[in-house]
Structure 1
Amino acid sequence: MRYEELTIEGRNAVLEAFRSGRTIDKLFVLDGCQDGPVRTIIREARKYDTIISYVTRERLDQLSITGKHQGVIAYGAAYEYAEVEDMLAAAREKGEAPFLILLDGIEDPYNLGAIIRTANLAGAHGVIIPKRRAAGLTAAVARTSAGALNYTPVAKVTNLVAAIESLKKQGMWFVCGDMGAEVMYKVNLKGSIGLVIGNEGEGVSKLVREHCDMIASIPMKGEIGSLNASVAAGVLAYEIVRQRMEG
């Protein structure tokens, strides 16, 4: 399901968006504005764990498309988020071992879109992203995914480590891409697998890495430090595909 509107402006429109159950990624509120309608909107936002940013009027004016924001602007998701359970159910229906891609703080929407596209082509059953400090499903992500968002579900979780631990109880193994580890060709990536890809700058966070079962590195022959996050995701995803095809 695609939402037709990404930027929602004005008090009534934003409040109705929350009350209708539309997924709102971020709410911008005029700093210091505490009247009744705005307090109601903030209360709704907290109920849905939406990220709230208090900003200046100048910032709101910059973000505004209509010029009639009334002190509030919301960013809605370009596409509806899925549940992790939906992804596991899809794998069961296909008679396949689950294959999920988890992103630890990917902030560039173009990287996110490219990874969703790769996930679709590699046969992954879904992509999991964290709620905070990460790109959401914006128009730029939808565009870069080249239509893959219509077919590959994306779930948003509050805590990536908790999601990993929950999925481990359901028989999944987790591998993260990192430098200086066992070369990916030597790591057993068959079966129910979750591939964890790290942030563009710092890579996979220490806490998430500690909860992974395996670490796999991509062989590097050149002089520069590392691959772009979406390229690394593609290389590792297709090593999983290769090993699955071997049976």
Structure 2
Amino acid sequence: MAKPTYFYGIHAIDALLEYRPLDGLSLFVQQGRETDSHVQAIMAQARDNGISIQPTQKDKLTQLCGSPQHQGVVLNARPLGFADEGLLDTLAGREDCLLLVLDQITDAHNFGACLRTAVAMGVDAVICPKHHAASLTPTVAKVSVGAAEMMPIVSVTNLARTLTKIKNAGVFVFGTALNADAKPLHTADLTGKIAIIMGSEGEGMRRLTTESCDELVYIPMSGNEHGNLQSLNVSVATGMALYEINRQRTLAAGQA
């Protein structure tokens, strides 16, 4: 059994207690924060699920979770697990399936921010490789403000093989890249069953991942005359790409 870990932050803990309350073990609450309405709500959830509550000094909370950004609450709980890969078969059968693929996103803050945007923009699942990718750590949970608990995250051994599998199920795969073969994102048809791949900031998508794409797109940027601006932060780029996808799909639904 996986070793319990310490989750922190009001939104992350609130989501954990909502979606998997049986995984909570002990709640540590900063002394003096018991009157905060958000903290009170979390304490009520903990009591309802038989989770012990322990008043704790602020410094001790920081020590437990390894961060001063705990907002007065730390929850000792079982780690968050990845979704079963078989879920992709079900999702790929939907007419309007939307998958976000994160290729070699290793920074926990970027990963968490991408998950937060994915939930907001209606993504059905996030796919990432098992290696060279951020794990589902408490930091990811905190940055995602609870989205890590809401969004199915599928970790796959062979990303190229997984992309081939979903393509065979009718999912059109877009890859983001800054090269001559890519077209502006807004000119692509982003409706229907699609997956969009975001690569790492430094190297972008790997070669096999790029070769698995049906079409390459890029986010047009003005301002290059002011400097050699080559790429955006991956979480920012993900937000921009998913917004355009959401915009097109909302417009298409309104015209149907």
Give your verdict on TM over 0.5: yes
Which of 208, 213, 228 aligns to 2:233? It is: 228
8 Å contact from structure 1 (residues 81, 154) kept in 2 = yes
RMSD: 2.4
1:179 aligned counterpart, secondary structure: coil
- Which sections of structure 2, spanning at least 5 residues, go unmatched? 7-63, 65-76
Instruction: Count matched residues.
Output: 177
Deviation of residue 144 (structure 1)? 0.7
Amino acid of the residue matched to residue 127 of structure 1?
A: V
Amino acid of the residue matched to residue 240 of structure 1?
A: I
Amino acid of the residue matched to residue 194 of structure 1?
A: A
The CA deviation string for residues 107-142 of structure 1, in whole angstroms up to 9 with x for no partner, is: 101100000111100000010110111111111111
**Which shifted more, 114-123 or 76-85?**
76-85
> 1:241 and 1:133 mapped to 2: Cα distance?
28
The CA deviation string for residues 81-105 of structure 1, in whole angstroms up to 9 with x for no partner, is: 102432553686xx65110101110
> 2:78 and 2:177 mapped to 1: Cα distance?
30
8 Å contact from structure 1 (residues 87, 153) kept in 2 = no
Aligned to 1:97: 96
State yes or no: 1:201 paired with 2:202.
Answer: yes
State yes or no: 1:242 paired with 2:247.
Answer: yes
2:178 aligned counterpart, secondary structure: strand
TM-score by length of 1: 0.66
Alignment of 1:148-163 (within 5 A): 148-163=147-162
8 Å contact from structure 1 (residues 129, 156) kept in 2 = yes
Amino acid of the residue matched to residue 188 of structure 2?
A: V
Alignment of 1:1-247 (within 5 A): 5-6=4-5, 78-87=79-88, 89=90, 97-180=96-179, 181-222=182-223, 223=227, 224-247=229-252
Pick closer, same or farther for the CA change 1:110–1:119 going to 2, 3 Å.
same
> 1:217 and 1:108 mapped to 2: Cα distance?
22
Pick closer, same or farther for the CA change 1:77–1:195 going to 2, 3 Å.
farther
> 2:171 and 2:83 mapped to 1: Cα distance?
19
> 1:216 and 1:147 mapped to 2: Cα distance?
30
Deviation of residue 205 (structure 1)? 1.2
- Which sections of structure 1, spanning at least 5 residues, go unmatched? 8-64, 66-75
> 1:91 and 1:149 mapped to 2: Cα distance?
21
Deviation of residue 188 (structure 1)? 1.2
